[in-house]
Structure 1
Amino acid sequence: MLENLPFWSHLTDDQQQQLVRFADLRRYRKGQQLYSSSEECLGMIMVESGTIRTYIVSPEGREITLFKLSEGESCVLSVACVLSEIQFETQIMAAADARLRIVPAGVFDRLFRENVYVREFAYETATRRFSAVMHVMQQMLFDGMDQRLAGFLLEKYEAEGSPEIVMTQEQIAGEINSAREVVARSVRQFVKDGLVSTGRGRIRILDPQGLRKLGKATSSPI
Protein backbone atom coordinates (compact mmCIF):
# COMPACT_ATOMS: atom_id res chain seq x y z
CA MET A 1 0.00 0.00 0.00
CA LEU A 2 2.86 2.38 0.74
CA GLU A 3 4.28 1.82 -2.73
CA ASN A 4 0.91 2.81 -4.21
CA LEU A 5 1.10 6.28 -2.69
CA PRO A 6 1.42 8.85 -5.51
CA PHE A 7 4.54 10.36 -3.99
CA TRP A 8 6.36 7.06 -3.28
CA SER A 9 8.53 7.09 -6.40
CA HIS A 10 9.59 10.67 -5.63
CA LEU A 11 10.96 9.82 -2.19
CA THR A 12 14.65 9.25 -1.57
CA ASP A 13 15.74 5.80 -0.45
CA ASP A 14 16.10 7.13 3.09
CA GLN A 15 12.61 8.63 3.05
CA GLN A 16 11.13 5.37 1.75
CA GLN A 17 12.87 3.45 4.52
CA GLN A 18 11.51 5.88 7.12
CA LEU A 19 8.00 5.39 5.82
CA VAL A 20 8.28 1.59 5.81
CA ARG A 21 9.91 1.49 9.24
CA PHE A 22 7.41 3.71 11.05
CA ALA A 23 4.11 3.00 9.26
CA ASP A 24 2.26 1.09 11.96
CA LEU A 25 -0.41 -1.53 11.18
CA ARG A 26 -3.41 -1.29 13.51
CA ARG A 27 -6.72 -3.11 13.63
CA TYR A 28 -9.97 -1.63 14.90
CA ARG A 29 -13.31 -3.26 15.59
CA LYS A 30 -16.55 -1.76 14.34
CA GLY A 31 -17.58 1.12 16.60
CA GLN A 32 -14.11 1.63 18.07
CA GLN A 33 -12.91 5.22 18.16
CA LEU A 34 -9.65 6.02 16.39
CA TYR A 35 -9.27 9.69 17.03
CA SER A 36 -10.73 12.76 18.69
CA SER A 37 -9.54 16.27 17.93
CA SER A 38 -8.83 16.69 21.65
CA GLU A 39 -6.17 13.97 21.40
CA GLU A 40 -2.67 13.99 19.98
CA CYS A 41 -2.63 13.72 16.21
CA LEU A 42 -2.24 10.22 14.81
CA GLY A 43 -0.51 11.35 11.63
CA MET A 44 -1.61 10.01 8.24
CA ILE A 45 -4.12 7.16 8.16
CA MET A 46 -4.33 4.81 5.19
CA VAL A 47 -7.20 2.33 5.03
CA GLU A 48 -6.02 -1.14 3.99
CA SER A 49 -9.44 -2.73 4.56
CA GLY A 50 -12.76 -1.84 6.14
CA THR A 51 -14.32 1.58 6.55
CA ILE A 52 -13.76 4.52 8.88
CA ARG A 53 -16.14 7.42 9.50
CA THR A 54 -15.29 11.04 10.23
CA TYR A 55 -18.01 12.98 12.04
CA ILE A 56 -18.82 15.86 14.33
CA VAL A 57 -21.21 15.90 17.27
CA SER A 58 -23.74 18.69 17.77
CA PRO A 59 -24.31 20.27 21.21
CA GLU A 60 -27.48 18.14 21.43
CA GLY A 61 -25.43 14.98 20.90
CA ARG A 62 -26.45 14.36 17.28
CA GLU A 63 -23.73 12.92 15.08
CA ILE A 64 -23.18 14.41 11.61
CA THR A 65 -21.14 12.29 9.22
CA LEU A 66 -18.71 14.33 7.16
CA PHE A 67 -17.35 11.48 5.06
CA LYS A 68 -16.30 7.85 5.10
CA LEU A 69 -13.07 6.33 3.86
CA SER A 70 -12.62 2.80 2.59
CA GLU A 71 -9.87 0.62 1.15
CA GLY A 72 -7.03 2.54 -0.51
CA GLU A 73 -7.98 5.97 0.86
CA SER A 74 -6.22 8.21 3.36
CA CYS A 75 -7.68 10.38 6.09
CA VAL A 76 -7.09 14.06 5.47
CA LEU A 77 -8.12 15.18 8.95
CA SER A 78 -5.21 13.27 10.43
CA VAL A 79 -2.93 14.80 7.80
CA ALA A 80 -4.36 18.27 8.41
CA CYS A 81 -3.30 18.36 12.03
CA VAL A 82 0.37 18.33 10.99
CA LEU A 83 -0.19 21.20 8.57
CA SER A 84 0.45 24.60 10.06
CA GLU A 85 -2.46 26.23 11.92
CA ILE A 86 -5.20 23.88 10.68
CA GLN A 87 -7.47 22.42 13.32
CA PHE A 88 -10.68 20.40 13.08
CA GLU A 89 -13.11 19.49 15.85
CA THR A 90 -13.81 15.97 14.64
CA GLN A 91 -14.12 12.35 15.68
CA ILE A 92 -13.02 9.31 13.69
CA MET A 93 -14.34 5.80 14.33
CA ALA A 94 -14.41 2.45 12.59
CA ALA A 95 -17.70 2.08 10.71
CA ALA A 96 -16.75 -1.55 10.04
CA ASP A 97 -13.87 -3.75 11.15
CA ALA A 98 -10.84 -1.97 9.73
CA ARG A 99 -7.12 -2.53 9.14
CA LEU A 100 -5.20 0.72 8.98
CA ARG A 101 -1.64 1.74 8.20
CA ILE A 102 -0.76 4.80 10.30
CA VAL A 103 2.25 7.03 9.67
CA PRO A 104 3.07 8.95 12.89
CA ALA A 105 2.65 12.71 12.76
CA GLY A 106 6.35 13.39 13.34
CA VAL A 107 7.41 11.15 10.46
CA PHE A 108 4.86 12.55 8.05
CA ASP A 109 5.69 16.10 9.14
CA ARG A 110 9.34 15.57 8.18
CA LEU A 111 8.38 14.16 4.79
CA PHE A 112 5.92 17.01 4.29
CA ARG A 113 8.61 19.60 4.92
CA GLU A 114 11.32 17.85 2.90
CA ASN A 115 9.43 16.70 -0.18
CA VAL A 116 7.29 18.82 -2.48
CA TYR A 117 5.43 15.74 -3.77
CA VAL A 118 4.32 14.87 -0.25
CA ARG A 119 3.05 18.41 0.18
CA GLU A 120 1.20 18.18 -3.12
CA PHE A 121 -0.41 14.92 -1.99
CA ALA A 122 -1.45 16.44 1.36
CA TYR A 123 -3.02 19.52 -0.20
CA GLU A 124 -4.82 17.56 -2.94
CA THR A 125 -6.19 15.12 -0.37
CA ALA A 126 -7.32 17.97 1.89
CA THR A 127 -9.09 19.59 -1.08
CA ARG A 128 -10.99 16.39 -1.90
CA ARG A 129 -12.10 15.93 1.69
CA PHE A 130 -13.13 19.58 1.97
CA SER A 131 -15.22 19.09 -1.17
CA ALA A 132 -16.88 16.08 0.47
CA VAL A 133 -17.69 18.10 3.59
CA MET A 134 -19.18 20.91 1.49
CA HIS A 135 -21.27 18.30 -0.34
CA VAL A 136 -22.70 17.15 2.99
CA MET A 137 -23.43 20.71 4.07
CA GLN A 138 -25.13 21.45 0.73
CA GLN A 139 -27.38 18.41 1.12
CA MET A 140 -28.35 19.35 4.67
CA LEU A 141 -29.04 23.00 3.81
CA PHE A 142 -30.69 22.77 0.41
CA ASP A 143 -32.01 19.24 -0.23
CA GLY A 144 -35.39 18.19 1.16
CA MET A 145 -35.69 15.08 3.30
CA ASP A 146 -37.43 13.09 0.57
CA GLN A 147 -34.72 13.97 -1.94
CA ARG A 148 -31.92 12.99 0.45
CA LEU A 149 -33.58 9.70 1.36
CA ALA A 150 -34.39 8.85 -2.26
CA GLY A 151 -30.82 9.63 -3.28
CA PHE A 152 -29.38 7.47 -0.52
CA LEU A 153 -31.63 4.50 -1.33
CA LEU A 154 -30.72 4.72 -5.01
CA GLU A 155 -27.00 4.94 -4.22
CA LYS A 156 -27.24 1.77 -2.12
CA TYR A 157 -29.31 0.07 -4.80
CA GLU A 158 -26.77 0.88 -7.51
CA ALA A 159 -23.71 0.11 -5.37
CA GLU A 160 -24.95 -3.26 -4.14
CA GLY A 161 -26.91 -4.32 -7.22
CA SER A 162 -29.88 -5.37 -5.12
CA PRO A 163 -33.25 -3.67 -4.50
CA GLU A 164 -33.20 -4.91 -0.90
CA ILE A 165 -31.34 -2.64 1.52
CA VAL A 166 -30.61 -4.32 4.83
CA MET A 167 -30.50 -1.35 7.20
CA THR A 168 -32.66 -0.07 10.01
CA GLN A 169 -34.27 3.34 9.73
CA GLU A 170 -32.05 4.50 12.57
CA GLN A 171 -28.96 3.45 10.59
CA ILE A 172 -30.25 5.25 7.51
CA ALA A 173 -30.88 8.37 9.59
CA GLY A 174 -27.25 8.27 10.71
CA GLU A 175 -26.06 7.95 7.13
CA ILE A 176 -28.01 10.95 5.84
CA ASN A 177 -27.60 13.07 8.99
CA SER A 178 -31.21 13.15 10.06
CA ALA A 179 -33.36 11.92 12.94
CA ARG A 180 -34.96 8.47 12.90
CA GLU A 181 -38.43 9.95 13.32
CA VAL A 182 -37.95 12.16 10.26
CA VAL A 183 -36.72 9.24 8.17
CA ALA A 184 -39.63 7.10 9.40
CA ARG A 185 -42.16 9.68 8.15
CA SER A 186 -40.58 9.79 4.71
CA VAL A 187 -40.38 6.00 4.52
CA ARG A 188 -44.10 5.72 5.38
CA GLN A 189 -44.90 8.14 2.58
CA PHE A 190 -42.69 6.18 0.17
CA VAL A 191 -44.60 3.02 1.11
CA LYS A 192 -47.97 4.73 0.51
CA ASP A 193 -46.71 5.94 -2.88
CA GLY A 194 -45.63 2.42 -3.85
CA LEU A 195 -41.97 3.33 -4.08
CA VAL A 196 -40.70 0.91 -1.45
CA SER A 197 -41.83 -1.83 0.90
CA THR A 198 -40.48 -2.40 4.38
CA GLY A 199 -39.63 -5.30 6.64
CA ARG A 200 -37.82 -5.72 9.89
CA GLY A 201 -34.46 -3.98 9.45
CA ARG A 202 -34.80 -3.70 5.68
CA ILE A 203 -36.26 -1.63 2.85
CA ARG A 204 -37.01 -2.99 -0.62
CA ILE A 205 -37.05 -0.64 -3.59
CA LEU A 206 -40.08 -1.26 -5.79
CA ASP A 207 -39.94 1.74 -8.12
CA PRO A 208 -36.42 3.11 -8.80
CA GLN A 209 -37.71 5.49 -11.46
CA GLY A 210 -40.24 6.88 -9.03
CA LEU A 211 -37.47 7.59 -6.54
CA ARG A 212 -35.47 9.35 -9.23
CA LYS A 213 -38.39 11.66 -9.92
CA LEU A 214 -38.10 12.98 -6.38
CA GLY A 215 -34.74 14.44 -7.32
CA LYS A 216 -31.56 13.19 -8.84
CA ALA A 217 -29.53 10.82 -6.66
CA THR A 218 -26.52 12.64 -5.29
CA SER A 219 -23.15 11.04 -4.78
CA SER A 220 -19.99 11.99 -2.95
CA PRO A 221 -17.62 14.13 -5.06
CA ILE A 222 -14.72 11.98 -3.96
Structure 2
Amino acid sequence: MSGWARRLFPGLDPADCARIEGLPVQMLPQGAHLFAPGTRAEAFAIVLSGRIEVSLTGPSGREILLYAVEPGQSCIQTTLGLLGNEPYSGDALCVGPVRLVLIPAAQFHALMASSEAFRGFVFRALAGRMSDMTALLERVAFTRVEARLAAALLELARDGTVEATHADLAARIGSAREVVSRRLESMARRGLVATDRGRVALRDQAALVRLSLAV
Protein backbone atom coordinates (compact mmCIF):
# COMPACT_ATOMS: atom_id res chain seq x y z
CA MET A 1 0.00 0.00 0.00
CA SER A 2 2.88 2.32 -0.79
CA GLY A 3 1.78 5.93 -1.16
CA TRP A 4 -1.30 5.67 1.07
CA ALA A 5 -0.20 8.59 3.26
CA ARG A 6 0.19 10.83 0.22
CA ARG A 7 -3.34 9.91 -0.91
CA LEU A 8 -4.80 10.44 2.55
CA PHE A 9 -2.97 13.71 3.26
CA PRO A 10 -2.75 15.61 -0.04
CA GLY A 11 -0.05 18.24 0.09
CA LEU A 12 1.82 16.67 2.99
CA ASP A 13 5.60 17.04 2.80
CA PRO A 14 7.17 13.92 1.20
CA ALA A 15 9.48 13.48 4.20
CA ASP A 16 6.49 13.51 6.58
CA CYS A 17 4.68 11.02 4.30
CA ALA A 18 7.70 8.73 4.39
CA ARG A 19 7.90 8.90 8.18
CA ILE A 20 4.20 8.07 8.54
CA GLU A 21 4.41 5.19 6.05
CA GLY A 22 7.50 3.94 7.91
CA LEU A 23 5.43 3.33 11.05
CA PRO A 24 4.56 -0.33 11.69
CA VAL A 25 1.21 -1.63 10.49
CA GLN A 26 -0.66 -3.25 13.36
CA MET A 27 -3.19 -6.07 13.02
CA LEU A 28 -6.10 -6.22 15.44
CA PRO A 29 -8.45 -9.23 15.48
CA GLN A 30 -12.22 -9.07 15.57
CA GLY A 31 -13.36 -8.28 19.09
CA ALA A 32 -10.21 -6.37 20.05
CA HIS A 33 -10.60 -3.04 21.84
CA LEU A 34 -8.56 -0.11 20.54
CA PHE A 35 -9.41 1.92 23.64
CA ALA A 36 -11.74 1.83 26.64
CA PRO A 37 -13.35 4.42 28.96
CA GLY A 38 -10.88 6.07 31.31
CA THR A 39 -7.76 5.39 29.23
CA ARG A 40 -5.83 8.20 27.58
CA ALA A 41 -4.98 8.71 23.94
CA GLU A 42 -1.36 7.86 23.20
CA ALA A 43 -1.49 7.80 19.40
CA PHE A 44 -3.53 8.95 16.40
CA ALA A 45 -5.02 5.92 14.65
CA ILE A 46 -5.20 5.65 10.87
CA VAL A 47 -7.37 2.72 9.77
CA LEU A 48 -6.10 1.05 6.59
CA SER A 49 -8.71 -1.71 6.43
CA GLY A 50 -11.59 -2.96 8.54
CA ARG A 51 -14.05 -1.17 10.78
CA ILE A 52 -13.96 0.05 14.37
CA GLU A 53 -17.19 0.99 16.15
CA VAL A 54 -17.08 3.53 18.96
CA SER A 55 -19.88 3.29 21.53
CA LEU A 56 -20.83 4.92 24.81
CA THR A 57 -22.36 3.08 27.77
CA GLY A 58 -24.41 4.97 30.35
CA PRO A 59 -24.73 4.29 34.09
CA SER A 60 -27.84 2.20 33.42
CA GLY A 61 -25.91 -0.10 31.11
CA ARG A 62 -27.62 1.21 27.97
CA GLU A 63 -25.25 1.49 25.03
CA ILE A 64 -25.34 3.78 22.00
CA LEU A 65 -23.23 3.55 18.87
CA LEU A 66 -21.61 6.95 18.35
CA TYR A 67 -19.86 6.36 15.03
CA ALA A 68 -17.70 3.95 13.07
CA VAL A 69 -14.13 4.46 11.88
CA GLU A 70 -13.40 3.00 8.45
CA PRO A 71 -10.39 3.34 6.10
CA GLY A 72 -9.45 6.98 5.59
CA GLN A 73 -11.53 8.20 8.54
CA SER A 74 -10.46 9.44 11.96
CA CYS A 75 -11.71 9.00 15.52
CA ILE A 76 -13.07 12.15 17.17
CA GLN A 77 -12.49 10.76 20.66
CA THR A 78 -8.80 10.20 19.90
CA THR A 79 -8.43 13.65 18.31
CA LEU A 80 -10.04 15.36 21.30
CA GLY A 81 -8.00 13.23 23.69
CA LEU A 82 -4.73 14.19 22.02
CA LEU A 83 -5.61 17.88 21.68
CA GLY A 84 -7.17 18.29 25.12
CA ASN A 85 -5.39 15.57 27.12
CA GLU A 86 -8.76 14.16 28.21
CA PRO A 87 -9.43 10.45 28.88
CA TYR A 88 -11.66 8.42 26.60
CA SER A 89 -15.32 8.21 27.50
CA GLY A 90 -16.21 5.65 24.84
CA ASP A 91 -15.20 2.12 23.90
CA ALA A 92 -13.69 1.26 20.48
CA LEU A 93 -14.37 -2.28 19.28
CA CYS A 94 -13.04 -3.96 16.13
CA VAL A 95 -16.07 -5.53 14.43
CA GLY A 96 -13.77 -7.48 12.13
CA PRO A 97 -10.03 -7.77 11.51
CA VAL A 98 -8.48 -4.30 11.39
CA ARG A 99 -5.18 -3.07 9.94
CA LEU A 100 -4.05 0.31 11.24
CA VAL A 101 -1.11 2.61 11.81
CA LEU A 102 -0.67 4.50 15.07
CA ILE A 103 1.03 7.91 14.90
CA PRO A 104 2.60 8.45 18.36
CA ALA A 105 1.36 11.49 20.28
CA ALA A 106 4.67 13.35 19.97
CA GLN A 107 4.72 12.88 16.19
CA PHE A 108 1.04 13.88 15.95
CA HIS A 109 1.67 17.14 17.83
CA ALA A 110 4.75 17.88 15.72
CA LEU A 111 2.73 17.42 12.52
CA MET A 112 -0.09 19.58 13.87
CA ALA A 113 2.45 22.35 14.59
CA SER A 114 4.40 22.16 11.33
CA SER A 115 2.10 20.85 8.59
CA GLU A 116 -0.86 22.78 7.22
CA ALA A 117 -1.89 19.73 5.17
CA PHE A 118 -2.00 17.49 8.23
CA ARG A 119 -3.83 20.11 10.33
CA GLY A 120 -6.35 20.50 7.52
CA PHE A 121 -7.07 16.78 7.47
CA VAL A 122 -7.47 16.60 11.25
CA PHE A 123 -9.77 19.62 11.50
CA ARG A 124 -11.87 18.68 8.47
CA ALA A 125 -12.33 15.19 9.93
CA LEU A 126 -13.16 16.70 13.33
CA ALA A 127 -15.77 18.99 11.78
CA GLY A 128 -17.31 16.09 9.89
CA ARG A 129 -17.52 13.96 13.01
CA MET A 130 -19.09 16.80 14.99
CA SER A 131 -21.70 17.14 12.25
CA ASP A 132 -22.37 13.39 12.46
CA MET A 133 -22.72 13.62 16.25
CA THR A 134 -25.19 16.50 15.93
CA ALA A 135 -27.21 14.47 13.43
CA LEU A 136 -27.20 11.50 15.83
CA LEU A 137 -28.43 13.72 18.66
CA GLU A 138 -31.21 15.07 16.45
CA ARG A 139 -32.30 11.56 15.43
CA VAL A 140 -32.40 10.31 19.01
CA ALA A 141 -34.18 13.43 20.28
CA PHE A 142 -36.68 14.05 17.48
CA THR A 143 -37.24 10.82 15.52
CA ARG A 144 -39.51 8.05 16.74
CA VAL A 145 -37.86 4.79 17.80
CA GLU A 146 -39.73 2.79 15.16
CA ALA A 147 -38.54 5.13 12.40
CA ARG A 148 -34.93 4.90 13.61
CA LEU A 149 -35.20 1.12 13.80
CA ALA A 150 -36.62 0.85 10.28
CA ALA A 151 -33.80 3.04 8.94
CA ALA A 152 -31.18 0.92 10.73
CA LEU A 153 -32.64 -2.32 9.35
CA LEU A 154 -32.58 -0.95 5.80
CA GLU A 155 -29.01 0.26 6.21
CA LEU A 156 -27.72 -3.02 7.66
CA ALA A 157 -29.62 -5.41 5.38
CA ARG A 158 -27.65 -7.70 3.08
CA ASP A 159 -29.78 -9.62 0.59
CA GLY A 160 -32.84 -8.71 2.64
CA THR A 161 -31.48 -10.00 5.95
CA VAL A 162 -29.95 -8.26 8.95
CA GLU A 163 -27.49 -10.24 11.09
CA ALA A 164 -27.69 -8.44 14.45
CA THR A 165 -28.99 -9.02 17.95
CA HIS A 166 -31.65 -6.82 19.53
CA ALA A 167 -28.94 -5.37 21.77
CA ASP A 168 -26.83 -4.48 18.72
CA LEU A 169 -29.80 -2.72 17.09
CA ALA A 170 -30.61 -0.89 20.31
CA ALA A 171 -27.05 0.44 20.56
CA ARG A 172 -27.17 1.56 16.95
CA ILE A 173 -30.37 3.60 17.34
CA GLY A 174 -29.86 4.84 20.90
CA SER A 175 -32.62 2.86 22.58
CA ALA A 176 -33.03 -0.06 24.97
CA ARG A 177 -32.98 -3.73 23.96
CA GLU A 178 -36.46 -4.28 25.42
CA VAL A 179 -37.85 -1.41 23.35
CA VAL A 180 -36.30 -2.78 20.16
CA SER A 181 -37.70 -6.24 20.90
CA ARG A 182 -41.22 -4.82 21.29
CA ARG A 183 -40.94 -2.77 18.09
CA LEU A 184 -39.68 -5.78 16.13
CA GLU A 185 -42.56 -7.89 17.42
CA SER A 186 -44.97 -5.18 16.26
CA MET A 187 -43.31 -5.03 12.84
CA ALA A 188 -43.50 -8.83 12.56
CA ARG A 189 -47.23 -8.83 13.34
CA ARG A 190 -47.73 -6.30 10.53
CA GLY A 191 -45.76 -8.43 8.07
CA LEU A 192 -42.85 -6.01 7.72
CA VAL A 193 -40.18 -8.36 9.10
CA ALA A 194 -39.62 -11.89 10.34
CA THR A 195 -37.36 -12.39 13.33
CA ASP A 196 -35.12 -15.22 14.44
CA ARG A 197 -32.27 -15.43 16.94
CA GLY A 198 -29.71 -12.85 15.84
CA ARG A 199 -31.43 -12.33 12.49
CA VAL A 200 -34.15 -10.11 11.01
CA ALA A 201 -35.55 -10.80 7.53
CA LEU A 202 -37.08 -7.80 5.77
CA ARG A 203 -40.45 -8.83 4.31
CA ASP A 204 -41.79 -5.45 3.12
CA GLN A 205 -38.94 -3.08 2.36
CA ALA A 206 -41.20 -0.47 0.76
CA ALA A 207 -43.22 -0.20 3.98
CA LEU A 208 -40.00 0.00 6.00
CA VAL A 209 -38.79 2.87 3.81
CA ARG A 210 -42.05 4.75 4.45
CA LEU A 211 -41.76 4.02 8.16
CA SER A 212 -38.14 5.26 8.28
CA LEU A 213 -39.25 8.61 6.86
CA ALA A 214 -42.06 9.11 9.37
CA VAL A 215 -41.53 11.84 11.96
**Length-normalised TM-score, structure 2:** 0.88
The whole-number CA distance in structure 2 between the counterparts of 1:99 and 1:20 is: 13
Alignment of 1:27-176 (within 5 A): 27-36=27-36, 38-84=38-84, 89-157=89-157, 160=158, 162-176=159-173
The whole-number CA distance in structure 2 between the counterparts of 1:41 and 1:168 is: 30
The Cα of 1:199 is off from its aligned counterpart by: 2.3
Q: Check conservation: 1:43, 1:79, Cα contact below 8 A.
A: no
Residue equivalent to 2:174:
177
Residue by residue, what CA displacement relative to the aligned partner does 1:119-170 show, whole Å, maximum 9, x if unpaired?
Answer: 111110001111111122111111111101111111123xx3x112222222
SS at 2:69's partner residue?
strand
Residue by residue, what CA displacement relative to the aligned partner does 1:82-137 show, whole Å, maximum 9, x if unpaired?
Answer: 32577763322212221111111110110110011211111100011111111221
SS at 2:175's partner residue?
coil
SS at 1:197's partner residue?
strand
Alignment of 1:211-222 (within 5 A): 211-216=208-213
Residue by residue, what CA displacement relative to the aligned partner does 1:36-92 show, whole Å, maximum 9, x if unpaired?
Answer: 353231322111121111122212222221101123322232223232577763322
SS at 2:191's partner residue?
coil
Alignment of 1:19-30 (within 5 A): 19-21=20-22, 23-30=23-30
- Per the alignment, do residues 45 and 154 of structure 1 end up closer, same or farther by CA in structure 2, a change over 3 Å counting? same
Q: Check conservation: 2:56, 2:90, Cα contact below 8 A.
A: yes
Residue equivalent to 1:17:
18
- Per the alignment, do residues 171 and 55 of structure 1 end up closer, same or farther by CA in structure 2, a change over 3 Å counting? closer
Residue equivalent to 2:5:
2
Letter in structure 2 aligned against 1:57? T
Q: Check conservation: 2:41, 2:87, Cα contact below 8 A.
A: no
More displaced stretch, 67-76 vs 146-155: 67-76
More displaced stretch, 23-32 vs 202-211: 23-32
The CA RMSD over aligned residues, in Å, is 2.1
Q: Check conservation: 1:53, 1:93, Cα contact below 8 A.
A: yes
The whole-number CA distance in structure 2 between the counterparts of 1:87 and 1:122 is: 19
The whole-number CA distance in structure 1 between the counterparts of 2:21 and 2:71 is: 19
The whole-number CA distance in structure 2 between the counterparts of 1:12 and 1:98 is: 26
Counting aligned pairs with the same residue, the percent is 26
In the TM superposition, structure 1's runs of 4+ consecutive aligned residues that sit over 6 Å from their partners are: none
Residue equivalent to 1:220:
none
SS at 2:102's partner residue?
strand
Q: Check conservation: 1:45, 1:101, Cα contact below 8 A.
A: yes
The whole-number CA distance in structure 1 between the counterparts of 2:24 and 2:113 is: 21
